[in-house]
């Protein structure tokens, strides 16, 4: 019996005709990346959303063909509608080289929970990029992206070469936070030149899709888009690439974390108990995939009444610090709630750049130093001396 491979699945899928019944779905580029996990096969077929009902038989035909391949236990096939304008990550383009541990975010089971530290398969690094770190949070709205941006800028003004990758495919925010417009241009083939803002190299799905384009993303597509944004971008020489993770600690985030060769993760949390529980989940998520947690940053939360605009602030000061101590991870610092941080952040004028002398900018710079210290701690791969970080 031939081994069950992606190639074998694609070969078989060539028997399935596309919507016009002329060419097959593989040649038409309609099939997403194929993911195989213990005999389960997952893929999606990209179609025009207006034809979803009409093309259901195409889906069942493809599912049947895949199920009939010897060695396949289950085939989970979904129709998807995805529009990506211009060059860049596309489910229709040939998929990137297979990620090390494929596991579609919404289709398959999460990887084994019992992963022992030190057993994670090695994921290839990104040439020229020395360290990749994730900034994650248990839930949305805790200021993760704002923190990621100011952290990246803090490291940059401290003398490091820094890039930021917006891994939030569903709600990219970096173009807005860094006030970058335009579209990354191809350099050669599929490789894109990253955008630049305030000295950072930046890549986000927000540069590649029209803002109002409705997108239905399926797990394999998200992974394909992420790997392309990571590997098909000319990042150049970087000391640090900061990955702004999508909020949450579910299977989708876990899967994404596994696609990126992470040196460590920073968790952003508000001080409230609820957020702390989530932060702990985030911590566990990274531990499960053998990624060191570099520490926790506490950021304040607020409630903004949608009716009257009144902001209620819920202070529960110090919770994250205590929690970090309890969990034995570094506490990297606390950032108070501040309307200037919010205003500047939302205007695409991050405070580290737009008001560098402010207390908040200083804070972010201090936290950046701590994060860098954690990154290079025990890092045997760091062969040249660390860039000179000067505290003001």
* Positions that interact with ligand ADP (CB under 6 A): 137, 140-146, 173, 247, 299-300, 335, 337-338, 341-342, 345-346
Least gap, CB of 145 to ligand ADP (angstroms): 3
Q: How far is the CB of 351 from ligand ADP (least distance, A)?
A: 9
Please, which residue, 40 or 338, has the CB nearer to ligand ADP? 338
**Which lies closer to ligand ADP via its Cβ, residue 85 or residue 359?**
359
Nearer to ligand ADP, 135 or 260 (CB): 135
Q: Which residues contact 156 (CB under 8 A, 6 or more apart)?
A: 162, 198, 199, 200
Q: Shortest distance, CB of residue 148 to ligand ADP, whole angstroms? A: 7
Nearer to ligand ADP, 11 or 346 (CB): 346
Nearer to ligand ADP, 131 or 139 (CB): 139
- Indicate the pairing of strand 191-192 with strand 186-188: antiparallel
CB of 149 to ligand ADP, least distance (A): 8
Chain centroid offset of residue 144 CA: 12
For residue 139, the minimal CB distance to ligand ADP (Å) is: 8
Please identify, using beta-carbon distances, which residue of 126 and 363 lies nearer to ligand ADP: 363
**CB nearer to ligand ADP: pick between 46 and 345:** 345
223 vs 354: CA distance, rounded Å: 34
Strands 200-204 and 264-269: unpaired
Residue number of the CB closest to ligand ADP reads 143
The Cα–Cα gap between 152 and 146 comes to: 10
For the chain, list the strands marked E by DSSP.
Answer: 35-37, 40-46, 74-80, 129-137, 162-166, 186-188, 191-192, 195-197, 200-204, 238-244, 264-269, 293-299, 302-304, 311-313, 331-335
CB of 79 closer than 8 Å to CB of 52? yes
Q: How far is the CB of 284 from ligand ADP (least distance, A)?
A: 19
Query: Toward ligand ADP, which CB reaches closer, 90 or 150?
Result: 150
For 13, other C-beta atoms within 10 Å of its C-beta total 23
Min separation Cβ 244 and ligand ADP, Å: 7
Q: What letter would DSSP give residue 314?
A: -
CA distances (Å), origin 218, targets 112, 137, 142, 143, 166:
21, 22, 25, 26, 18
CB–CB of 375/134 below 8 Å?
no
Report d(CA 256, CA 260) in Å as an integer: 7
């Amino acid at each position: 019996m031939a081994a069950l491979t992606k190639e074998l699945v694609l070969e078989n899928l060539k028997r399935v005709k596309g919507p016009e019944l002329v060419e097959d779905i593989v040649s038409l580029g309609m099939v997403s990346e194929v993911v195989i996990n213990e005999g389960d096969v997952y893929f999606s077929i990209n179609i025009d959303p207006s034809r979803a009902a009409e093309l259901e038989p195409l889906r069942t035909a493809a599912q049947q063909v895949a199920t009939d391949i010897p060695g396949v236990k289950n085939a989970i096939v979904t129709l998807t509608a995805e529009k990506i304008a211009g060059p860049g990550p596309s489910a229709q383009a040939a998929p990137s080289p297979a990620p090390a541990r494929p596991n579609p975010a919404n289709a398959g089971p999460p990887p084994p929970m019992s992963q022992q530290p030190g057993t994670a398969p090695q994921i290839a690094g990104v040439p020229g990029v020395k360290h990749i770190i994730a900034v994650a949070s248990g839930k949305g709205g805790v200021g993760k992206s704002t923190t990621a941006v100011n952290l990246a800028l803090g490291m940059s003004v401290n003398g490091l070469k820094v890039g930021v990758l917006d891994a939030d495919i569903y709600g990219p925010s970096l173009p807005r936070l860094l006030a970058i417009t335009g579209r990354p241009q191809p350099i050669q083939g599929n490789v894109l030149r990253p955008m630049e803002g305030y000295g950072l190299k930046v890549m986000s799905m927000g540069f590649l899709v029209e803002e109002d384009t409705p997108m239905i993303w399926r797990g394999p597509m998200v992974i394909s888009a992420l790997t392309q944004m990571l590997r098909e971008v000319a990042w150049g020489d970087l000391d640090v690439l900061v990955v702004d993770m999508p909020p949450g600690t579910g299977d989708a985030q876990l899967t994404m974390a596994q696609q990126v060769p992470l040196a460590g993760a920073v968790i952003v949390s508000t001080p409230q108990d609820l957020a702390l529980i989530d932060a702990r989940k985030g911590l566990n998520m990274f531990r499960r995939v053998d990624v060191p947690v570099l520490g926790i940053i506490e950021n304040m939360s607020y409630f903004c009444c949608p009716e009257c605009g009144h902001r209620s602030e819920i202070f529960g000061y110090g919770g994250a610090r205590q929690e970090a101590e309890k969990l034995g991870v570094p506490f990297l610092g606390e950032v108070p709630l501040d309307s200037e941080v919010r205003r500047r952040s939302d205007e695409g004028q991050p405070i580290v750049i737009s008001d560098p002398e402010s207390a908040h900018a200083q804070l972010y710079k201090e936290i950046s130093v701590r994060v860098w210290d954690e990154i290079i701690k025990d890092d045997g791969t760091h062969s040249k001396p660390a860039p000179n970080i000067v505290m003001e």
